[in-house]
Amino acid sequence: MSDQIIPLPATAEAAAPVPVTNPNTRKVFIKTYGCQMNVYDSVRMGDALASEGYVTTEAMEEADLVLLNTCHIREKAAEKVYSALGRLREMKKERAANGREMMIGVAGCVAQAEGEEILRRAPAVDVVIGPQTYHRLPQALQRARRGERVIETDYAVEDKFEHLPKTEKAVIRSRGVTSFLTVQEGCDKFCTFCVVPYTRGSEVSRPLAQILEEAQRLVDAGVREITLLGQNVNAWHGEGPKGDAWGLGDLLYRLSEIPGLARLRYTTSHPRDMDDRLIEAHRDLRTLMPYLHLPVQAGSDRVLKAMNRRHTAEEYVRLIERIRSVRPDIALSGDFIVGFPGETEAEFEDTLRLVERVRYAQAFSFKYSTRPGTPGAELGSQVAEEVKAERLERLQALLLKQQQEFAEGCVGKVIDILLEKPGRNAGQLIGRSPWLQSVNVDAKSSQIGDIISVRIIGTGPNSLFAERIER
Ligand code: 5AD
Ligand code: SF4
C-alpha cells in the first residue's frame, strides 16, 4: 500500500562502504531519495554491482558511477532529481576534460514514471532503470559502456529477487545490526492522490521460503532486528508449509521463531488490511515491537471517500482501539495530507479532531501535491497553496506537541534498547527504543547488537537520554 512511505530525513546514502582493496576497483555512489523501500533497493543494487567489481563509496567525487535512486511521491521529489542531474552533468563534463569517465544512472520511481523523458531532459544520463528491473543493472551498464543510452523500465517477467546475488555475510555485518527486508511490493489500493500503483505496479508478495531464507541469512550475519517492508506490507500473503493461506500475522509468528532474531517491525500498512491474525500477533509476540505506522491521511469521511481510502474516520479510530486493547503500550504513527482537492476548513478540522482522539507518537504530514495521471489531478477545486501551507502548519504544531508528550511520557520508564551504533562521546552508545526512538546511554561494557535495560532520564530534540540499569 500504502502509504508506504516514511520519508527519511532528507536523503539517505545507501550501503556502508566496503573496504577498498584494489585501486582500480570501480566505485559507485548511490544516493537514495524517499522511502525505506528505496533504502533497501539501494542496498540490493549495491549487491548487484558488487558482483561486477564495484564497491560503494560515500564520496561522490571519487565515484565512477553515480546512481540516483529516486522517489516520485510528490512533485518536488522529481524536481530535486532533475536539479541533481544538472549538477552531475557539469561534474561529468569536468571529468571528461580530465580524461576520466563518469557514468550516471537514474533508478527508482522517477525512472519508472518518466522513462524517456529523463533521457530527453538530462542528456548526461547513461542508464534509466526501474524498481522491478534493477537486477539487470550490470548488463545495462555494459551496454551503456558500449555507447548506448539504456532504458530498462518494463515490469520484468522474472523475479528480480531470484536474480540478485546473495549478500555476503561480511557485507551484511558491515551494515549493522538492523536490516530492512522487502516482503511485498506494489499497491492495488489506488488512493486517488497516489502515484505508487502506477510506479511500483500491482501488489506482489515474495514467497515465504524466499523471505525465510533471507531473514536467516541476515540473522546468521548478526542482524538482531528486521523491519519487513512493503508499500502495503499488511497485504502480504503467501502459502504456508501445509499449503494453507498465510497473511502477514502468520509470517510474523514464523519469523519470531528464528533464534537470535530479537526484534521485528513492519511498515507500511493500510487500515483495511489490519486483520485479526495481525492484531493477535501484536498481542502475543514479544519480538514484535509495539509500534505501528498506520496512515489515515485525513479525518473527514467525505475527503476519505474522495481519496478512495475505503474506510471512515470512525472505523479507523475503532481499529486503533482494538489494537490498543490487546497491546496498550503500542505507539502509533501516521501519514496525513492537507489540502486534498475540495477540502474545506471544517473538513480539515475533522483531521485535527481525529489526531486529538488517536494521539500519535510520530507522524508525517504533507501538503497535497498534484500528481499527473492520478484521479486527484482531474478534480476541479484545488486548494490554494497558502491555505495548504497554513493548514499544514497547524497540523504539524499539534503532531509535534503529541510527539513531545509521548517522549516526555517515557521519562522514568525502564525499557530494553537495542544498541545500534557508537554515540558522540567515548563509552556512549546509541540504542533504539521499542517505539523507534534513538536513546543515548553510557554503556561501556556493552557492545553494538546487545539489548540492555535502561531507565529513561531525559528527552532531547530528536532522542532520549537513559542510564543503564541491571535487571
Ligand atoms: N501529495 C501529498 N502527499 C502524498 N502522499 C502520497 N501521495 C501524495 C500526494 N500526491 C503521502 C501520503 C502517503 C505518504 C507516503 O506520502 O501521506 O502515505
Ligand atoms: Fe498507499 Fe494508497 Fe498509495 Fe497504495 S495508493 S501506496 S495505499 S497511499
pLDDT digits (tens, 9 = 90+) for 152-201: 998 776 788 888 888 888 888 888 999 999 999 999 999 999 999 998 88
Return the residue whose CA atom lies nearest to atom 2 of ligand 1: 368
Q: Cα(273) to centroid of ligand 2, in Å?
A: 12
Q: Cα(163) to centroid of ligand 2, in Å?
A: 27
CB atoms within 10 A of CB 36: 21
Q: Cα(394) to centroid of ligand 2, in Å?
A: 24
Share of the chain above pLDDT 70, in %: 94
The structural architecture, per CATH, of the domain 10-152 is 3-Layer(aba) Sandwich (3.40)
Confidence band, pLDDT 50/70/90 cuts, at residue 22: low
* Mean pLDDT score, 95-106: 93
Which pLDDT score, from 0 to 100, does residue 26 have? 92
* Mean pLDDT score, 17-45: 81
* Mean pLDDT score, 434-444: 94
**Residue carrying C-alpha cell 551484511:** 172
Which pLDDT score, from 0 to 100, does residue 378 have? 92
b/e map of 208-234 (b: 16 or more CB within 10 Å)? beebeebbebbbebbbbbbbbbbbbbb
CATH 3.40.50.12160 domain residues, the chain: 10-152
Atom of ligand 1 nearest to the CA of 369: 1
Spatial separation of the C-alpha atoms in residues 354 and 214, rounded to whole Å = 39
54-56/26-32 β-pairing: parallel
CATH 2.40.50.140 domain residues, the chain: 414-468
Residue 127 predicted with pLDDT over 60: yes
H-type alpha helices, 146-186: 160-163, 169-174
Say what the pTM is: 0.92
Residue stretches of the annotated binding site for [4Fe-4S] cluster: 35, 71, 109, 187, 191, 194
CATH class of 414-468: mainly beta
Q: Degrees (nearest 5) of the Cα angle 44, 50, 55?
A: 105
CATH 3.80.30.20 domain residues, the chain: 187-409
In 3D, which of 382, 8, 388, 373 has the Cα closest to residue 196? Answer: 373
* Mean pLDDT score, 252-266: 98
Which pLDDT score, from 0 to 100, does residue 3 have? 37
Which pLDDT score, from 0 to 100, does residue 23 have? 53
In 3D, which of 186, 198, 347, 208 has the Cα closest to residue 268? Answer: 186
Per DSSP, the three-state class of 165 is coil
CATH 3.80.30.20 correct for 187-409? yes
Spatial separation of the C-alpha atoms in residues 354 and 350, rounded to whole Å = 6
Q: Which of 240-249, 267-276, 317-326, 372-381 has the lowest mean pLDDT?
A: 372-381
In 3D, which of 230, 228, 226, 229 has the Cα closest to residue 177? Answer: 226
What own/partner pairs with CB < 8 Å and gap ≥ 24 does 116-121 have?
116/151, 118/85, 119/149, 119/151, 121/82, 121/85
